[in-house]
Copies of this chain bind each other. A is one copy, B any other.
């Protein structure tokens, strides 16, 4: 199909398609003339994946390109693809060295030891956690120690289920895309579910719902 049909069928504008081609997120179509190319069903599917990573996963173009490059490669092992994905979905705030950061690093080291987690120092989550706790500390607030463990336990439960779902035995091509999507969309979903649960807990504990009526009205079809 031509780019106009690719746009119509995928719901992605021609301008965006050309941008994704330039940025290397979408492989080029088969050249059929000086200014024409033919696209296939694979391009429609890839466009869906690109939009899922950018619009729903909240990734940068650079992050999406890294992930797609790893997905497309035939010789990068699954766990390395997931490592690349983890780096792309876990922003690490800039490091500032001060007493608050030293305390935060100790808190994170203690947490890792306490939970028996096997996690390298280069893990983007570990590096991010230190900066987040240091920032919180500098504002004279921070999660109570019990809160940190509640969060760590929740993260552990989610991660164990996610990793078990990866299915280490299945052929690479069957698992790599679904594993990457699980890591990207699973993170967005956890954020969404936390917002839902917060409103419910607020209604229950504080006796009032959070004021979320400011969002656009939903149609009656049950959105």
Contact = CB atoms under 8 A, between A and B. Distances in A.
Nearest to A76: B211
Contacts of A205: 160, 163-164, 166, 168
Interface residues of A, number: 119
A214 B206 CA distance: 45
A4 interface: no
Contact of A210 (B55, B82, B132): B82
B154 A158 contact: yes
Contacts of A207: 168
Interface string A182-209: 1101111111111111111111111111
B152 A105 contact: no
A193 to B, nearest CB: 4
A123 B212 contact: yes
Main secondary structure of the interface of A (DSSP, over half): helix
A87 B163 contact: no
Given A106-B222, A131-B56, A135-B52, A119 B199 contact: yes
A96 interface: yes
27 contacts: A49-B139, A52-B139, A55-B135, A56-B93, A56-B132, A56-B135, A77-B211, A82-B202, A84-B214, A112-B196, A117-B196, A119-B209, A120-B209, A120-B213, A122-B212, A130-B223, A139-B181, A143-B182, A147-B165, A150-B158, A151-B158, A152-B193, A163-B206, A164-B201, A166-B205, A183-B198, A187-B194
Interface of A: 11, 45, 48-49, 51-52, 55-56, 58, 77, 79-80, 82-84, 86-87, 89-96, 101-102, 105-106, 109, 112, 115, 117-133, 135-136, 138-139, 141, 143-144, 146-148, 150-166, 168, 177-178, 181-183, 185-218, 221-223
